[in-house]
Amino acid sequence: AQSVTQLGSHVSVSEGALVLLRCNYSSSVPPYLFWYVQYPNQGLQLLLKYTSAATLVKGINGFEAEFKKSETSFHLTKPSAHMSDAAEYFCAVGRYSGGGADGLTFGKGTHLIIQP
């Protein structure tokens, strides 16, 4: 079974500082990996995804993530945090079962707090 672990349920950074949100995955097959963002009272929005085309993936709003197979990691970064980045972030991995690919398995989420 596939799974993801997000390190840190809450991360606090100062405005303008580097944002680093950690995600480690477990998968018996080559993984497809995703980062989603959830703003208050909203649904989830896709930030970026890894589909094996390139290990460094660029997403929306200045975020990027690097797939590192040796470390089984897919950490999300942004060089300079903005107040509008305050949100919940979810890492996810593609699911596989006897019936084939059947959705995504999500991590527990990381709440990003931006200090002025």
Q: Token pair for residue 105?
A: 């398995």
Identify the three-state secondary structure at position 32.
coil
- Please tell me whether residue 103 binds another protein under the rule CB under 8 A: yes
Q: Which is nearer to another protein, 17 or 106 (CB)?
A: 106
One of 57, 104, 112, 114 touching another protein (CB under 8 A): 104
Residue type, 44: L
Going from the C-alpha of 115 to that of each of 63, 89, 96, the distances in angstroms are: 18, 17, 39
**CB within 8 A of 66, min separation 6: which ones?**
55, 56, 57, 73, 74, 75, 77
Query: Rounded distance, CA 3 to CA 43, Å?
Result: 22
Nearest approach, Cβ of residue 38 and another protein (Å) = 8
Kindly determine how many residues on this chain lie close enough to bind another protein according to the rule CB under 8 A.
29
CB 57 → another protein: shortest distance, Å?
A: 11
* CB closer to another protein out of 39 and 80: 39
| Residues at the interface with another protein (CB under 8 A) | 9, 32, 34, 36, 42-46, 49-52, 90, 92, 94-96, 99-109
